[in-house]
Amino acid sequence: MRELERVLDTYPSRIIEHATLSSILENLAYKRINDKIVQLKNKGILTPLKSGLYVYNPLYNNTLLSKEIIANILLGPSYVSLDFALWFHGLIPESVYEITSITTKRSKSFETHYGVFSYVQIKKELFNIGMPKSANQKK
Protein backbone atom coordinates (compact mmCIF):
# COMPACT_ATOMS: atom_id res chain seq x y z
CA MET A 1 0.00 0.00 0.00
CA ARG A 2 2.87 2.40 0.74
CA GLU A 3 4.18 2.06 -2.80
CA LEU A 4 0.70 2.80 -4.19
CA GLU A 5 0.39 5.90 -1.99
CA ARG A 6 3.84 7.08 -3.10
CA VAL A 7 2.82 6.83 -6.77
CA LEU A 8 -0.58 8.49 -6.20
CA ASP A 9 1.11 11.34 -4.30
CA THR A 10 2.80 12.36 -7.56
CA TYR A 11 -0.56 13.55 -8.96
CA PRO A 12 -0.81 17.21 -7.85
CA SER A 13 -4.54 17.59 -8.55
CA ARG A 14 -5.31 14.29 -6.74
CA ILE A 15 -7.92 13.58 -9.44
CA ILE A 16 -7.24 10.32 -11.22
CA GLU A 17 -8.98 8.43 -14.01
CA HIS A 18 -9.80 4.72 -13.88
CA ALA A 19 -7.44 3.87 -16.76
CA THR A 20 -4.51 5.61 -15.06
CA LEU A 21 -5.30 3.98 -11.73
CA SER A 22 -5.58 0.57 -13.39
CA SER A 23 -2.22 1.07 -15.07
CA ILE A 24 -0.59 2.04 -11.76
CA LEU A 25 -2.04 -0.99 -9.98
CA GLU A 26 -0.99 -3.29 -12.83
CA ASN A 27 2.59 -1.92 -12.70
CA LEU A 28 2.61 -2.59 -8.95
CA ALA A 29 1.69 -6.25 -9.67
CA TYR A 30 -1.89 -6.15 -8.37
CA LYS A 31 -3.92 -8.96 -9.95
CA ARG A 32 -7.59 -8.11 -9.27
CA ILE A 33 -7.48 -4.42 -10.11
CA ASN A 34 -11.20 -3.61 -9.90
CA ASP A 35 -11.44 -5.39 -6.54
CA LYS A 36 -8.52 -3.28 -5.29
CA ILE A 37 -10.24 -0.09 -6.48
CA VAL A 38 -13.42 -1.09 -4.60
CA GLN A 39 -11.30 -1.75 -1.50
CA LEU A 40 -9.66 1.68 -1.81
CA LYS A 41 -13.10 3.32 -2.14
CA ASN A 42 -14.40 1.43 0.92
CA LYS A 43 -11.39 2.58 2.96
CA GLY A 44 -11.98 6.20 1.90
CA ILE A 45 -8.66 6.42 0.07
CA LEU A 46 -10.53 7.02 -3.19
CA THR A 47 -13.70 9.09 -3.50
CA PRO A 48 -15.66 8.63 -6.73
CA LEU A 49 -16.63 11.80 -8.61
CA LYS A 50 -18.36 9.99 -11.46
CA SER A 51 -17.94 6.65 -13.18
CA GLY A 52 -14.23 6.18 -13.86
CA LEU A 53 -13.04 9.34 -12.09
CA TYR A 54 -11.76 9.43 -8.51
CA VAL A 55 -10.18 11.76 -5.99
CA TYR A 56 -7.20 10.35 -4.11
CA ASN A 57 -7.49 11.19 -0.40
CA PRO A 58 -4.06 10.79 1.19
CA LEU A 59 -4.18 10.06 4.91
CA TYR A 60 -1.62 12.72 5.85
CA ASN A 61 -2.28 15.64 3.54
CA ASN A 62 -3.96 18.91 4.41
CA THR A 63 -3.98 20.20 0.83
CA LEU A 64 -7.36 21.59 -0.17
CA LEU A 65 -8.87 20.39 -3.41
CA SER A 66 -10.07 23.13 -5.77
CA LYS A 67 -13.73 22.81 -6.70
CA GLU A 68 -13.02 24.80 -9.83
CA ILE A 69 -10.50 22.17 -10.98
CA ILE A 70 -13.00 19.40 -10.24
CA ALA A 71 -15.59 21.28 -12.32
CA ASN A 72 -13.22 21.58 -15.28
CA ILE A 73 -12.25 17.89 -15.14
CA LEU A 74 -15.73 16.40 -14.55
CA LEU A 75 -17.00 17.47 -17.96
CA GLY A 76 -14.95 18.99 -20.71
CA PRO A 77 -14.65 21.16 -22.53
CA SER A 78 -16.09 23.50 -19.94
CA TYR A 79 -15.27 26.57 -17.90
CA VAL A 80 -16.64 27.85 -14.59
CA SER A 81 -19.14 30.64 -15.19
CA LEU A 82 -22.59 31.99 -14.31
CA ASP A 83 -23.60 32.35 -10.65
CA PHE A 84 -20.44 30.82 -9.20
CA ALA A 85 -18.13 33.11 -11.20
CA LEU A 86 -20.19 36.17 -10.23
CA TRP A 87 -20.03 35.19 -6.53
CA PHE A 88 -16.31 34.32 -6.71
CA HIS A 89 -15.48 37.77 -8.06
CA GLY A 90 -17.73 39.52 -5.53
CA LEU A 91 -20.28 40.71 -8.09
CA ILE A 92 -23.27 39.21 -6.26
CA PRO A 93 -23.71 39.10 -2.48
CA GLU A 94 -25.60 35.80 -2.31
CA SER A 95 -23.77 32.63 -1.35
CA VAL A 96 -23.51 30.09 -4.13
CA TYR A 97 -23.31 26.41 -3.24
CA GLU A 98 -23.34 24.97 -6.75
CA ILE A 99 -20.45 25.29 -9.19
CA THR A 100 -21.93 26.28 -12.55
CA SER A 101 -20.04 25.86 -15.79
CA ILE A 102 -20.55 26.42 -19.49
CA THR A 103 -19.98 23.55 -21.93
CA THR A 104 -20.55 22.63 -25.56
CA LYS A 105 -21.88 19.26 -24.46
CA ARG A 106 -25.38 18.43 -23.22
CA SER A 107 -26.49 20.18 -19.99
CA LYS A 108 -25.81 17.96 -17.01
CA SER A 109 -25.44 17.97 -13.23
CA PHE A 110 -23.22 15.93 -10.89
CA GLU A 111 -23.83 15.57 -7.17
CA THR A 112 -20.56 14.57 -5.49
CA HIS A 113 -18.98 14.43 -2.07
CA TYR A 114 -17.32 17.76 -2.94
CA GLY A 115 -20.49 19.57 -3.99
CA VAL A 116 -22.92 19.96 -6.84
CA PHE A 117 -21.52 20.72 -10.28
CA SER A 118 -23.88 21.77 -13.05
CA TYR A 119 -23.17 22.40 -16.72
CA VAL A 120 -25.19 24.52 -19.13
CA GLN A 121 -24.87 23.89 -22.85
CA ILE A 122 -24.13 26.75 -25.23
CA LYS A 123 -23.43 26.83 -28.97
CA LYS A 124 -19.87 26.05 -30.02
CA GLU A 125 -19.60 29.45 -31.70
CA LEU A 126 -20.12 31.14 -28.32
CA PHE A 127 -17.66 28.90 -26.49
CA ASN A 128 -14.51 29.62 -28.48
CA ILE A 129 -13.09 32.38 -26.28
CA GLY A 130 -9.35 31.77 -26.17
CA MET A 131 -9.52 28.98 -28.72
CA PRO A 132 -8.03 29.26 -32.22
CA LYS A 133 -10.52 29.71 -35.01
CA SER A 134 -10.86 26.80 -37.39
CA ALA A 135 -10.25 27.25 -41.10
CA ASN A 136 -13.97 27.22 -41.92
CA GLN A 137 -14.94 29.98 -39.45
CA LYS A 138 -15.09 33.57 -40.69
CA LYS A 139 -12.60 36.00 -39.19
Reduced to 3 states (helix: H, G, I; strand: E, B; else coil), residue 16 is strand
Asked whether residue 36 falls in the same domain as residue 15, the answer is yes
Q: Which amino acid is at 118?
A: S
Q: Does residue 114 lie within any of the structural domains?
A: yes
CA angle (110 as vertex; 45, 70 as ends), nearest 5: 55
For 34-64, the pLDDT digits (tens) are: 999 999 999 999 999 999 999 998 776 667 7
Domain count, the chain: 2
Asked whether residue 72 falls in the same domain as residue 123, the answer is yes
Asked whether residue 51 falls in the same domain as residue 74, the answer is no
Q: What would the 3-class secondary structure string for 58-120 be?
A: CCCCCCCCCHHHHHHHHCCCEEECHHHHHHHCCCCCCCCCEEEEEECCCCEEEEECCEEEEEE
- The pTM of the full predicted model, rounded to 2 decimals, is 0.81
Asked whether residue 31 falls in the same domain as residue 76, the answer is no
For 21, the domain range is 2-56
Asked whether residue 71 falls in the same domain as residue 123, the answer is yes
Q: Is the pLDDT of residue 71 over 90?
A: yes
Asked whether residue 19 falls in the same domain as residue 48, the answer is yes
The pLDDT, as a whole number, for residue 17 is 95
Asked whether residue 89 falls in the same domain as residue 122, the answer is yes
Q: Does residue 138 lie within any of the structural domains?
A: no
